[in-house]
Amino acid sequence: MATGTLPPIHEAWLPKEHTLYRPRHGARQLTAIICAVVFFAMPVISLAVGMRPTELENHRLASFPNPGDGWSFFTNFNGWSNDHLPFRREAIDAVNGISRGLFGEPPALGRSPQSSGPVAGVPGPQGGDKRQINPGITIPLAIEGKNGWMYYGDDVVSRCNQVRDLRSTLDLIRRLREGVEASGRKFVLVVAPDKSTIVPENLPNTYAGKDCLQKVNGEMWPLLTAEAGMVDLRGELQARGKQLGHPVYPPLDGHWWDEGGIIMARRMAEAVHPTITRKWVTTPTEEYSVPADTPPLIGLSGTNKGFMYSLKPDGVRDQTRAVPPDFSTPVQVGHATGQGTVTQSVGMLGDSFTIRALRYLAASFGDLTVLHYGKVNTDNGRAAGEMLAQNEVVAIEVVERTIASGNNQLLQPEVVDGIIRVLKDNPIRK
């Protein structure tokens, strides 16, 4: 029997005169929908007409999210859309020009947001990027210095927000060295100095974190140079800069030029065999131009120009060769032969500073395997230890700022113990 109750009806279907009437899509809703469609469709449209996005902020462009990831598809879609928007480079350049032209200061690009509460830490082994060194004081990703120079903000953050104190980090280095030597192998440690250490004269006169950067550096280097097996490159890097008439670090990059790579290769070879480089001859052969890595950290761009060199270990035959810069898995680099080359097998763990040294390591080592230590903490050093165990010499290259901060992936207790365990199980019999 009918009760006299009307069936449910959508409010958009009610007469316009009804007090509960609401249009299905009002003007504002329609405008918002159109804007959303344009925003998310523009990357696809730009690709269809041949426009290609470029990497701007020193990270790989976000890949298109996987629809099979559930809700993560929607949360990751925004990052893909941002990275692939057309005219993004032009928009950033416009913001930079307006900010500097009208207000006389750089735009607030690449700065982490301010936050309150306890002091945050630098990126640690578990990830993250919190760059506040004190409440209300945040270090930019790139510090703009004098004469057009730029420096990594992490050079400062690593000293002001230490994850682990210096002596604890040095204890880990010592534990690793003792474990390597106990397995019958030779240990070599190369510390790649930060640009702020070798070329401090172009830092700003004042900047947040200056005091703790200078304080930690004053404590760290005496401790490092007292360690057995440690190779200190600072003096040679500065001396080479004076010979060239300019520093061996580019104004717009956080890494050294090829001159630094040659010095590193020479000192590594001498650490294995002290007199082996007596006949080495290096000569500039080719100028190159590559995008700078520091300006993109704050939404800018720049170029570095440097020289590649020949390296003749015997003074006659150039043995340099191109080596791919990706060594996230073990790469056999050394195939050099003859006088002036290291014959012992060497397993090396390095980081991005090793890249500019690869062609010169290839010219001076007969049996050298290189692995980036960036992911050694994923298996507590097991794979790295297995690679090192196949060699007579263990060489480590680490950048200075990761020692200062204590957040180096290699210098973690579980990683060091994992590597030592593998080497102990595979000793060299003499």
The residue among 22 and 116 whose pLDDT is bigger is 22
203 vs 213: CA distance, rounded Å = 12
pLDDT at residue 112 tops 80: no
Mean pLDDT taken over the chain: 83
pLDDT at residue 15 tops 90: no
How do residues 168-189 score in pLDDT, each as one tens digit? 999 999 999 999 999 999 999 9
End-to-end CA separation in angstroms for the chain: 101
CA distances 370 to 229, 269, 325, Å, are: 19, 15, 11
Average pLDDT over residues 202-222: 95
pLDDT at 74: 58
Query: Which runs of consecutive H residues, i.e. helices, occur in 131-206?
Result: 154-160, 166-182, 195-198
Q: Is the dihedral of CA 131, 135, 139, 140 positive or negative?
A: positive
How do residues 405-430 score in pLDDT, each as one tens digit? 999 999 999 999 999 999 999 999 76
Please state, for a pLDDT cut of 70, what percent of the chain lies above it. Answer: 70
220 vs 227: CA distance, rounded Å = 11
Query: Which runs of consecutive H residues, i.e. helices, occur in 183-252?
Result: 195-198, 210-225, 234-244
pLDDT at residue 404 tops 90: yes
How do residues 248-258 score in pLDDT, each as one tens digit? 999 999 999 99
The residue among 378 and 136 whose pLDDT is bigger is 378
Please report which confidence band the pLDDT of residue 358 belongs to, taking 50, 70 and 90 as the band edges. Answer: very high
Average pLDDT over residues 115-139: 48
